[in-house]
Amino acid sequence: MESPLVIVDLDRAPAREPDARDRDRVVIGVAAAPRSAVEGYDVLLTGVPDPPSPWVWCADPQATARELGHIVESRPAAAVALVQVLRMGGGLSVPDRLVLESLAYSALQAGTDFRAWLAAAPPRTPRPAGTPVRLGRDGSRLAITLDRPWVRNAFDAATRDALCEALQVAVADPSITRVDLYGNGPAFCSGGDLAEFGTSRDPARAHLVRVHRSPAALLHRCAPRVTAHLHGACVGAGIELAAFAGRVVAAPDTVIRLPEIGMGLIPGAGGTASIPVRVGRERTAYLALSGTELSVGEAVRWGLVDEVGETVGPTAGSAQDTVRH
Q: Give yes or no: residues 37 and 100 share one domain.
A: no
State residue 314's pLDDT score.
Answer: 66
- Of 45, 74, 103, at which residue does a domain stop? 74
Q: Give yes or no: residues 148 and 217 share one domain.
A: yes
Q: Give yes or no: residues 211 and 302 share one domain.
A: yes
Report the amino acid identity of residue 131: T
Q: Give yes or no: residues 127 and 236 share one domain.
A: yes
State residue 243's pLDDT score.
Answer: 98
Instruction: Note whether residue 87 is domain-resident.
Output: no
Q: Give yes or no: residues 52 and 146 share one domain.
A: no
Q: Give yes or no: residues 43 and 157 share one domain.
A: no
State residue 106's pLDDT score.
Answer: 96
State residue 311's pLDDT score.
Answer: 67
Contact residues for 87 (Cβ-Cβ < 8 A; gap 6+): 42, 281
In the chain, which stretches have pLDDT less than 50? 316-325
Q: Give yes or no: residues 175 and 144 share one domain.
A: yes
Omega of the bond leading into 128 within 30 degrees of 0 (cis): no
The total of structural domains in the chain comes to 2
State residue 198's pLDDT score.
Answer: 73
Q: Give yes or no: residues 230 and 150 share one domain.
A: yes
- Of 27, 43, 74, at which residue does a domain stop? 74
Instruction: Note whether residue 266 is domain-resident.
Output: no
Q: Give yes or no: residues 13 and 134 share one domain.
A: no
State residue 325's pLDDT score.
Answer: 42
> Is the whole model's pTM more than 0.85, yes or no?
yes
Instruction: Note whether residue 45 is domain-resident.
Output: yes
Q: Give yes or no: residues 99 and 67 share one domain.
A: no
Instruction: Note whether residue 60 is domain-resident.
Output: yes
Task: Find the CATH number of the domain harbouring 151.
Answer: 3.90.226.10
Instruction: Note whether residue 55 is domain-resident.
Output: yes
Beta bridge partners of 323: 133
Q: From residue 145, give the alpha-carbon distance in Å to each of 40, 131, 184, 278.
A: 41, 10, 6, 24
Contact residues for 61 (Cβ-Cβ < 8 A; gap 6+): 30, 31, 32, 45, 46, 47
Q: Give yes or no: residues 13 and 54 share one domain.
A: yes
State residue 128's pLDDT score.
Answer: 87
Q: From residue 164, give the alpha-carbon distance in Å to each of 132, 185, 188, 200, 304.
A: 12, 21, 17, 20, 23
Where in the sequence is the domain holding 9, given as residue range(s)? 5-74
- Of 42, 74, 106, at which residue does a domain stop? 74
State residue 201's pLDDT score.
Answer: 81
State residue 312's pLDDT score.
Answer: 65
Q: Give yes or no: residues 129 and 198 share one domain.
A: yes
